[in-house]
Amino acid sequence: MNWVDDEMGFIDLGDCRLNRRGLSIIEGLGLAPGRTIPQAFQAWSEIKATYNFFNNDLVSPVKILAPHLEKTIERIQEYPIVLLASDTTDINYTTKSIMKNKERLDNKQSGIWLHATIAITPDRLNLGLIQTNFWHREEEVAKKDSASRTARDKAPIEEKESYRWLESYKQACEIAKKAPNTQVINISDRECDIIEFFELSESKKNDEHKANFIVRSQHDRLIEANDSEANEAINKLWEKLRKADVVGELEFTISTRGDRKARKVKQKLKAISVNLTPANKKKSILVNAVMAIEEQPPEGEDPVIWVFITDLPIKTFGDVCKVIEYYLCRWQIELFFKVFKSGCKVEERQLQTADRIKNLIAIFLVLSWRVMFTMMLGRICGEMSCADLFDEAEWKSVYKILNKKKALPRKPPLLGEFIVMIAKLGGYVEQKDGEPPGVKTMWKGMTRMVDFSLAWEAFGG
């Protein structure tokens, strides 16, 4: 059984012929995610059938993703701790003038908004998607006068764009119920720092199975002073954290992002428990807060200072370190979107309507997961046989391309070794103390592997 049948075999689009066509399309695009539909299928009958599939009213992103989401939950149930990382990305189709029903990205650009949540282990193995949300932005530019701002502020949270963060947390709690032996931790960046999120978590505090959370703080929130602080003028979260005792230091490597290069970071950690005081005068909310401060950044670099709000324990230095270590895993969703956009080239695609492109996007989301899962499984479970993930033509053709003068081994290479081979096809240069293969060399290498394996089979390798 190939990976498509194993992962997507229970797809139900309401018609058995559509089901077979869907699996065929996923397999065809999965062989080389960066290629266009004509490049992937070549025969006109296959190309036409693929376009008709995306235009079929029975086909939807929800139906396409359903079997993958179920398989993700099964994988989650196998691990004691799983992190759910959420984020939003815009898919820009401004230049695709033929495409109808695009959303407004900003005043000049149009496309599609996607909010996604992926499940990852503390070892950064991507287990798959657990939620996707194509959300809507109002067509008209919001007014900036004070009356309009007041009206927006008073609108129910369900009518605001930020509601998607609450939906992600609700889904995380549903996952926690389905995986009762797994600690599920929802991880979000600064945009999730809204009081309604913490009120939602507070409302679920007595649930037997609820998701924990880590939110990177964006606002210096009002807090409730305890009896010993009655005479002190400390009523803001960040100020109280700055005055707290240092519980220890943590050193790690921060990833490349934008103009910032990867580098070593050493932070002093502080942690306190506080009661957040909502501006709406509702009941205060007990949370834990962690501050991580880099006091001596390299010359010319801005210090890395983070504040996190969480319901995870902070009793020991080890507890506080875990909050930081878990948050650092959130970078995996940024890598996921990188594979999705650069590897699958979703912004270069063109179909006639946004609904059709959303069906194609759903398939590319699964294929993006597959690239990341394969790469990280090679790092974490490198001792397993590569034959557990790749067929004979794939591993034999790649081995022979890279080892032209050697005979094929009797046994397939180990997965960790074979992942490096694939990455080398994509331009990876192996060095003694170098970084392991990244997603860019992996998706390039997997595309070349497909060509070699097809040639291997065609010429009776």
Q: pLDDT-derived band of residue 435, with 50, 70 and 90 as boundaries?
A: confident
Q: pLDDT tens digit string along 327-357?
A: 999 999 999 999 999 889 999 998 999 999 9
Mean pLDDT of 201-221: 92
Provide the pLDDT for residue 179: 97
Task: State the average pLDDT for the chain.
Answer: 89
pLDDT on residue 168: 95
What is the residue extent of each domain of the chain?
1-189+330-365, 216-327, 381-458
Torsion of CA 10, 14, 15, 16, to 10 degrees: 10
Which one is predicted more confidently, 16 or 162? Answer: 16
Q: Where are the alpha helices (DSSP H) in 182-259?
A: 195-203, 237-242
Question: What percentage of the chain's residues is helix, strand, coil (to nearest 5)?
Answer: 45, 20, 35
Task: Kindly give, in sequence order, each residue whose CB lies less than 8 Å from that of residue 177, ignoring residues fewer than 6 positions away.
Answer: 209
3-class SS of residue 311:
coil
> Collapsing DSSP states into helix, strand and coil, what is residue 164?
helix
Residue type, 181: N
Instruction: Report how far residue 409's alpha carbon sits from residue 400's, in angstroms, rounded to the nearest whole number.
Output: 10
Alpha helices in 298-438 (DSSP H): 317-328, 331-338, 354-380, 392-402, 415-425
Whether the per-residue pLDDT at 302 is higher than 80: the answer is yes
Environment class of 401 (CB within 10 Å of its CB; exposed 0-12, middle 13-18, buried 19+): middle
Architecture label for domain 216-327: Alpha-Beta Complex (3.90)
Q: Tokens 């049948």 map to which residue?
A: 5
Mean pLDDT confidence for 214-219: 95
Q: Is the pLDDT of residue 315 over 60?
A: yes
Residue 19 has pLDDT above 80, yes or no: yes
Encoding tokens for residue 134?
């194509």
Confidence check: pLDDT of 229 > 60: no
The model's pLDDT over 94-113, given as tens digits with 9 standing for 90+, comes to 999 889 988 888 888 999 99
